[in-house]
Amino acid sequence: MIQEIKEIKDADTLVIGVSMYNFGIPASLKGLVDLVCRAGHTFQYTEKGPVGLMEGKRAIVVIASGGVPLGSPMDHASTYMTTMLGFIGITDVTFVAAQGTAGDLDVALKGAQTQIDAIAA
């Protein structure tokens, strides 16, 4: 079995860091997605279409962007991650946004830390 798939199967919570590049995810993360989205391992085909096999897991996705706000029409990273995780059965997804990193980095990091603190509470 592919090691990355085993790690997902063994985890209760996934923490995924995403740098938003040109409104989407970086190529290296797309490569990982292509590696772990495998029929018979992380999803299966049924008469009603594909069904994810990774139910019961939680994902925390931390997205850093220079200036594209999370959830804005130009943000294709969070929608992609929600779709991909849902495809493999992970629907409990929380986003942490470190947005505006191209401006005041301290403000962006403080905002992200506030969101992380809320998750941990």
Q: What is the pLDDT of residues 51-98, one digit of tens each?
A: 999 999 999 999 999 888 889 999 999 999 999 999 999 999 999 988
Structure tokens at 54: 């990774």
- Concatenating the DSSP letter of every residue in 53-119 gives S-TT-EEEEEEEESS--TTSTT--HHHHHHHHHHHTT--EEEEEEEE-TTS-HHHHHHHHHHHHHHH
If one counts every other C-beta atom within 10 angstroms of the C-beta of residue 121, the result is 5
| Domains contained in the chain, CATH given | 3-120 (3.40.50.360)
Give the pLDDT confidence score for residue 29 in this predicted structure: 96
pLDDT band of 48, cuts 50, 70, 90? very high
Structure tokens at 66: 């220079």
Give the pLDDT confidence score for residue 111 in this predicted structure: 87
Instruction: Give, to the nearest 10 degrees, the angle between helix 27-36 and helix 3-10.
Output: 80
